[in-house]
């Protein structure tokens, strides 16, 4: 069961992964109005301009076996890397998005998988048209935060629900 904890001081050895919640898109529009219904199944949808609160957009990437699920971008912290650096690196690798960390949303603990995840709110600086994992079939999608919380894989829902509750 994934649960949220207040952010506290912890050694990097205690923090195994980072996830990113990206709630702002760059000032570009990539919305395919004819295929808006298909966005839940893999079309790229980007918000135009920064949005927060009820209008917040979240960036998800395809994941799971054969890319059949939507997940929050994230991954492990490499040696000699802090959590924020890992967050920026993972976001660029997995979603083709360059961003800066705005704040730490919280620390989430997954008792079943026995690890903790630091979750960052990120502000988009640039969205790349070609990126490392995109060349291998990974897809990205921008969705309204409340929709993202419904379609993201079950293990990631508490993270987006915590953002919705803010």
Rounded Cα–Cα distance for residues 65 and 81 (Å) = 28
Q: Is 93 a catalytic residue?
A: yes
Q: Which residue has the tokens 């979240």?
A: 58
Q: The tokens of 50 are what?
A: 């920064």
Give 125's contacts (C-beta < 8 A, 6+ positions apart): 26, 98, 99, 100
How far is CA 73 from each of CA 11, 33, 92, 97, 152, rounded to the nearest angstrom?
22, 25, 9, 10, 11
Rounded Cα–Cα distance for residues 1 and 38 (Å) = 30
Name the catalytic one among 81, 93, 94, 127. 93
Q: The tokens of 27 are what?
A: 């000032």
Rounded Cα–Cα distance for residues 20 and 26 (Å) = 16
Q: Which residues are known catalytic residues?
A: 93
């Amino acid at each position: 069961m994934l649960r949220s904890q207040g952010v506290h001081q912890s050694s990097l050895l205690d923090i195994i992964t980072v996830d990113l919640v990206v709630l702002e898109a760059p000032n570009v529009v990539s919305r395919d109005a004819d295929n808006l219904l298909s966005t839940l199944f893999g079309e790229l949808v980007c918000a135009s301009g920064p949005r927060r609160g009820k209008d917040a957009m979240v960036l998800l990437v395809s994941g799971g076996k054969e890319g059949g699920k939507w997940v929050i971008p994230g991954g492990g912290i490499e040696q000699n890397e802090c959590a924020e650096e890992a967050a920026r690196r993972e976001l660029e690798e997995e979603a083709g998005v360059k961003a800066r960390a705005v704040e730490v949303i919280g620390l989430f603990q997954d008792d079943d998988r026995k690890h903790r995840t630091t979750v960052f709110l990120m502000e988009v600086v640039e969205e790349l048209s070609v990126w490392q994992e995109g060349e291998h079939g990974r897809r990205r999608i921008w969705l309204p935060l409340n929709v993202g919380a419904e379609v993201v894989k079950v293990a990631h829902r508490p993270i987006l629900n915590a953002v919705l509750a803010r």
